[in-house]
Amino acid sequence: MTRSSAPGKVYLFGEHAVVYGEPAVPCAIERRARVGVERRSDATLRVHSDELSLDGFTVEYSGSTAGTPDIDADESLVNAAMGYVDEAIAQVREVAGETDAGFDVTIESDIPLGAGLGSSAAVVVAAIDAATRALGVELEPAELAERAYRTELAVQDGQASRADTFCSATGGAVRVEGDDCRSIEAPDLPFVIGFDGGAGDTGALVSGVRSLRDEYDFAADTIGSIGDLVRRGETVLEAGELDELGDLMDFNHGLLAALGVSSRSLDNMVWAARTAGAHGAKLTGAGGGGCIVALDPTPETETALRYLPGCESVFRAELAEDGVRRLE
């Protein structure tokens, strides 16, 4: 069996706007998805997970995934098992030139699913790396990120950005603007993450922003303002100026809320963090529920979120210097 892990991420700035070519700055965090792959003697793909912040499931099928297998699981579980993993394996078969390769895939993850921490990107990156190596092919991080991006693009109906998958493949802090992806310098930021226990519908949220942008000029201007904020944020990040970095995070959250992608639970966690003295706080990811990220080196934000009704869990996360790791 070959095994790989890949990190999740938080957005300092730029989610949603990055879909329209504006820059974004995600940072990889030491919360990881681990994928083990073993080649089969037939073309069957068997996917098993005990975690993914969901009940355990196993899916086994052959050929097209157009027909959902008959299993006792919520549709979201089936999508998690079949959507991203199936597209990832399609990329693996293409790059290795083995169109009928079958695999047993086992997924473990300590990244909440659908919460804005890049769980799908981490699973996809780790799965592609482990499966290509099972076929005797080793991808460089840049190609791994490209293959993972193609996977998300297919699953998300052409509305994905390169940010999540590039960040997960390479680690550290990265800057993404269109097809231009690169690592940037960043201090070890004092991330505090609050999770409301929910998950937003990424596709619906992205579509909602697109509808606003198409209908209202000021919504398009808001997306442009997020891009301007990111450009300022890069300079502040590299200088390690936490006070202004936090101010920009606060501003970014307000712009995202104006685009309709925040929620009451996310807003409550953001305000609890700010009231506790955090440098700044904002939602991270698609929104609609899930996680916020705050900057606070003290225990105050953790304490405030821990006792906040509607916050299911809170934890610190270190910057992940490494992207994909080859475990076996």
The C-alpha angle with vertex 84 and arms to 267 and 137, in degrees rounded to 5, equals 130
For 117-136, write each residue's pLDDT tens digit: 988 899 999 999 999 999 99
Could you name the CATH architecture of 191-317? Answer: 2-Layer Sandwich (3.30)
Higher pLDDT, 19 or 249: 249
- pLDDT number for residue 171: 96
CA dist., res. 145 & res. 166, Å (int) = 5
Q: Would the pLDDT of 192 be above 60? A: yes
Give the C-alpha separation, 266 to 319, whole Å.
22
Would 2-185 and 191-317 be classified into the same CATH topology? no
> Is residue 119 a contact partner of residue 161, using CB atoms and an 8 Å limit?
no
The position carrying tokens 């300092």 is 12
- In the chain, where are the structural domains located? 2-185, 191-317
Q: Is the pLDDT reported for residue 324 higher than 60?
A: yes
pLDDT for residue 265 is more than 80: yes
**pLDDT above 90 (res 176):** yes
Mean pLDDT over residues 209-215, rounded? 94
In tens, the pLDDT along 158-173 reads 767 788 999 999 999 9
pLDDT at 268: 97
Summarize pLDDT for 36-81 with one digit per residue, the tens.
999 999 988 888 876 544 444 444 444 444 444 444 444 554 554 4
Question: For residue 55, what pLDDT is reported?
Answer: 41
Residue with more model confidence, 199 or 219: 219
Strand order in the sheet with 280-283: 280-283, 291-295, 191-195, 313-317
pLDDT of residue 78: 52
Q: Which amino acid, one-letter code, is at 207?
A: S
pTM of the model: 0.87
pLDDT of 45 reads 86
| HEC secondary structure over 71-109 | CCCCHHHHHHHHHHHHHHHHHHHHHHCCCCCCEEEEEEE
pLDDT number for residue 85 = 86
* CA 201/CA 289 separation, integer angstroms: 9
Residue 96 clears pLDDT 80, i.e. is over it? yes
**CATH number 3.30.230.10 is the correct assignment for the domain at 2-185:** yes
Strand-strand pairing, 45-49 and 103-109: parallel
Q: Supply the residues annotated as catalytic.
A: 164
- List of residues 6+ apart from 94 with CB closer than 8 A: none
Average pLDDT rounded to a whole number, residues 102-115: 86
Radius of gyration of the chain (CA): 19
pLDDT (0 to 100) of residue 199: 81
State the alpha helices, DSSP H only, in the chain: 75-79, 85-96, 119-134, 141-155, 163-170, 202-215, 217-239, 242-258, 264-275, 300-306
CB 268: neighbour CB atoms within 10 A? 18
Distance CA 320, CA 328 (A): 20
More confident residue, 72 or 13: 13
How confident is residue 86, by pLDDT bands cut at 50, 70 and 90?
confident
Tokens of 98: 């083995």
The percent of residues above 90 in pLDDT, for the chain, comes to 70
| Cα 202 from chain centre | 11
pLDDT tens digit sequence for 306-318:
999 999 999 999 9
Mean pLDDT of the chain: 88
